[in-house]
Amino acid sequence: RKEVEQDPGPFNVPEGATVAFNCTYSNSASQSFFWYRQDCRKEPKLLMSVYSSGNEDGRFTAQLNRASQYISLLIRDSKLSDSATYLCVPCLGQGGKLIFGQGTELSVKP
Amino acid sequence: GAVVSQHPSWVICKSGTSVKIECRSLDFQATTMFWYRQFPKQSLMLMATSNEGSKATYEQGVEKDKFLINHASLTLSTLTVTSAHPEDSSFYICSATTGLYNEQFFGPGTRLTVL
- Per-residue confidence band for A94, with pLDDT thresholds at 50, 70 and 90: low
Work out the average pLDDT over B74-79.
94
Work out the average pLDDT over B84-108.
90
| Residues on chain A touching B109 (C-beta within 8 angstroms) | 42-43
Report the pLDDT value the prediction gives residue A95, as an integer from 0 to 100. 65
Cβ separation of B103 and A44 shorter than 8 Å? no
Cβ separation of A93 and B102 shorter than 8 Å? yes
Work out the average pLDDT over B83-95.
97
| Residues on chain B touching A2 (C-beta within 8 angstroms) | none
Summarised one tens digit per residue, pLDDT across range B14-72 is 999 999 999 999 988 888 899 999 998 889 999 999 988 888 999 999 999 999 999 88
Long-range Cβ contact pairs of B54-57 (< 8 A, separation 24 or more): B57/A95
| Residues on chain B touching A100 (C-beta within 8 angstroms) | 43-46
Cα–Cα distance measured from residue A33 to residue A88, given in angstroms and rounded to the nearest whole number:
8
- Per-residue confidence band for A31, with pLDDT thresholds at 50, 70 and 90: confident
| Residues on chain B touching A32 (C-beta within 8 angstroms) | 101-102
**CB-based contacts of B20: which residues, under 8 Å, 6+ apart?**
B78, B79, B80
Position A74 pLDDT exceeds 90: yes
Position B100 pLDDT exceeds 90: no
A109, A15 Cβ separation under 8 angstroms? yes
- Helix, strand and coil content of chain B, in percent to the nearest 5, comes to 5, 50, 45
Report the pLDDT value the prediction gives residue B41, as an integer from 0 to 100. 85
Cβ separation of A43 and B43 shorter than 8 Å? no
Report the pLDDT value the prediction gives residue B57, as an integer from 0 to 100. 92
Bridge-based pairing of strands B10-13 and B110-114 is parallel
Cβ separation of A49 and B43 shorter than 8 Å? no
Report the pLDDT value the prediction gives residue B15, as an integer from 0 to 100. 97
